[in-house]
Amino acid sequence: MELRNVAIIAHVDHGKTTLVDNLLKQAGAFRTNQVVADRAMDRNDLERERGITILAKCTAVEWKGVKINIVDTPGHADFGGEVERILSMVDGAIVLCDAAEGPLPQTKFVLTKALARGIRPIVVINKVDRSDGSPHAVHDQVFDLFAALGATDEQLDFPTLFASGRQGWADDSMEGPRKDLSAMFDLILKHVPAPGKDVDAPFAMTASILEADNFLGRILTGRIEQGTARVNMPLKVLRADGSLVETGRLTKLLSFRGLERVPVETAEAGDIIAIAGLENGTIPDTVCTPEVTEPLHAIPVDPPTLAMTFRINDGPLGGREGKKVTSRQIRDRLFKETESNVAIKVKESEESDAFEVAGRGELQLGVLIEQMRREGFELTIGRPRVLTRENPETGDREEPFEEVLIDVDEEYSGAVVQKMSMRKGQMQDMRPSGGNKQRLTFIIPSRGLIGYHGEFMTDTRGTGIMNRLFHGYQPWAGPIEGRRNGSLISNSDGEAIQYALFYLQDRGTLFVDPGVKVYVGLILGEHSRENDLDVNPIKEKKLTNIRAAGKDEALLLIPPRRMSLEQAIAYIEDDELVEVTPGAIRLRKRYLDPHERKKHARRSDSEAA
């Protein structure tokens, strides 16, 4: 059977997973009476809740006798480790752009990788039914982006489709019949080259995706680069440096049909398959027959730019909510994560019972923490910090910078520009983007963005959109002012009392509700001033035998500020931690005892001096 391997490239929320749903339905991958959830490719709970694709997934459909393997790639740059491997499995790509928003940073990120591999993409302008859409202007923007990224003349001569993934149609012009996606299927067959097949060579493939299955064990997915795979054939696994990892047998060979993996006896070069039977093979090892001596070329993954410290939960409430609380359990889980997620690096920390976890960004590490929380782990997480490097030629200290694209109402642009410049951001471009909006482009140190998103949403009244992309390393930009406000810190153990919180809310913004368990060193809220303040959240009203008019009126509390996991991690300072358990996210001081805090603060001040 003829083959086509194609990836779908798009920015977060531009509709690629919804489009894949309709491709599957119209190609007959589902029975007519089969109940299928929306966004069937996003099978992970976190993906459904956040509306983003985190893990790359493969599916396959048949159209006019040709098998089309479709890979749904993550749209966020934090999951770039997935993207780079996926592009090594395909021969073509569909670049999906929103008809109103146009090409955004994550589209640019994946597209850069695809063009560098020589892929000739198909451009799809999606959501053309949006009232604020301008499909032809977006088409011009995509062409300009291709040119800016150094596309060849062949790549610049890209075919374009106009589509509505939600309505399930795509046509080569805006005036098309708008019936179905057959124009997209036909264009894939015509434009995407069939994989080059060397069936006679010994079998070899690069592992691109690693999963764990309750019945089959470890499953490696990748494209067969050469030869034919057969069930029960002997295999060996080679590292990128040529060293032998293990030998074994191919116990189960799986091919993709719709959303399912089905067992097959053989598979030829060019097809994307999943194999079981290997215990130690991982990404991006070469799986091959014993006669192969050289590993296949594997794509190097961009290095991590951000690190956090994962520690045991040593607070007074530690061990009450989670089942996995020891440093050994945390260590095993983190090192298991590095097997399947090549963009994450883990090493033992200098602190006891702590580990340094490095990744691409706050979102990627936040997703890992959320997954561990749902698995029953208790952790405390330190403030994110960027990973610097030394320039090999000059010896200067360099730090990661990001390109930030901001869409904001014109009335708020002044506040955004001011805040970005305070954080060492340099404006590259400022232009109108339709209506009363402006599009601002900045180059800014990655550490300047830590903790900024919440402030940005406040400054733009929740209407601003900020997208970011790793730009590269540049010389250290100097000190950046952090959070200005101090913390309200509990000086007592017990349960927060409404009476006490009512009088504390004049001191700042509270994070806790009445009845919540508190302990010495827990952060109750943000102080209205720059200094930290120890307060008593369990103080009760003194009772007397005199009842005065107006004294017993209801004490009305302002609703506390709720923080997501990422917001909490970005909010804390160096001397603070986020306590993460299956039931709660709390902020606390690193040193709970006030005397211990003062001692370490004096030591830090003397070292700084």
**Whether residues 115 and 26 fall in one domain:** yes
Distance in angstroms (rounded) separating the CA atoms of residues 46 and 55? 10
CATH of the domain at 41: 3.40.50.300
**Contact (Cβ atoms closer than 8 angstroms) between residue 298 and residue 78:** no
pLDDT reported for residue 81: 53
Q: Give residue 468's domain range.
A: 389-475
Which of 191, 220, 246 represents a domain boundary (last residue)? 191
Dihedrals phi, psi of 79, to nearest 5 degrees: -105, 35
**Whether residues 36 and 172 fall in one domain:** yes
Structural domains counted in the chain: 3
* Bridge partner list, 406: 440, 466
* Bridge partner list, 427: 442
**Whether residues 88 and 228 fall in one domain:** no
Q: Is 17 annotated as a binding residue?
A: yes
Asked, for residue 405, whether it belongs to a domain, the answer is: yes
**Whether residues 94 and 159 fall in one domain:** yes
Q: Is 14 annotated as a binding residue?
A: yes
pLDDT bracket for residue 240 (50, 70, 90): confident
**Contact (Cβ atoms closer than 8 angstroms) between residue 283 and residue 340:** yes
pLDDT reported for residue 234: 93
In the predicted structure, residue 29 carries a pLDDT above the cut 80 = no
Cβ contacts of 541 within 8 Å, gap of 6 or more: 499
**Whether residues 7 and 32 fall in one domain:** yes
**Whether residues 76 and 146 fall in one domain:** yes
- Quick one: tokens of 70? 């479709």
Which of 262, 288, 314 represents a domain boundary (last residue)? 288
Average pLDDT in the 50-58 region?
A: 49
Q: Is 436 annotated as a binding residue?
A: no
Per-residue pLDDT tens for 533-567?
999 999 988 776 665 545 545 678 889 998 888 88
The proportion of the chain whose per-residue pLDDT surpasses 70, expressed as a percent, equals 88
**Whether residues 50 and 90 fall in one domain:** yes
Asked, for residue 383, whether it belongs to a domain, the answer is: no
**Whether residues 399 and 447 fall in one domain:** yes
Asked, for residue 525, whether it belongs to a domain, the answer is: no
**Whether residues 15 and 76 fall in one domain:** yes
**Whether residues 102 and 248 fall in one domain:** no
Asked, for residue 23, whether it belongs to a domain, the answer is: yes
Query: Picking from 9-13, 232-236, 597-601, which range would have the lowest pLDDT averaged per residue?
Result: 9-13
pLDDT bracket for residue 13 (50, 70, 90): low
pLDDT reported for residue 300: 61
Q: Is 15 annotated as a binding residue?
A: yes
**Rg over CA atoms, the chain:** 27
CATH of the domain at 263: 2.40.30.10
Per-residue pLDDT tens for 141-181?
899 889 888 889 999 999 999 988 888 888 988 888 888 88
Q: Is 16 annotated as a binding residue?
A: yes
Asked, for residue 481, whether it belongs to a domain, the answer is: no
For residues 475 and 12, the model is more confident at: 475
Distance in angstroms (rounded) separating the CA atoms of residues 209 and 225? 15
Task: Using alpha carbons, select from 348, 308, 403, 355 the residue that is nearest to residue 103.
Answer: 403
Asked, for residue 27, whether it belongs to a domain, the answer is: yes
pLDDT reported for residue 483: 74
Dihedrals phi, psi of 566, to nearest 5 degrees: -65, -40
Q: Is 128 annotated as a binding residue?
A: yes
Average pLDDT in the 242-250 region?
A: 90
Asked, for residue 338, whether it belongs to a domain, the answer is: no
Q: Is 126 annotated as a binding residue?
A: yes
**Whether residues 176 and 220 fall in one domain:** no
Asked, for residue 323, whether it belongs to a domain, the answer is: no
* Average pLDDT of the chain, as a whole number: 83
pTM of the model as a whole: 0.73
Q: Is 127 annotated as a binding residue?
A: yes
**Whether residues 138 and 269 fall in one domain:** no
The owner of tokens 């053989």 is 266
Which of 432, 453, 475 represents a domain boundary (last residue)? 475
In the predicted structure, residue 118 carries a pLDDT above the cut 70 = yes
In the predicted structure, residue 417 carries a pLDDT above the cut 90 = yes
pLDDT reported for residue 140: 92
Per-residue pLDDT tens for 384-394?
988 998 888 88
pLDDT reported for residue 608: 61
In the predicted structure, residue 14 carries a pLDDT above the cut 60 = no
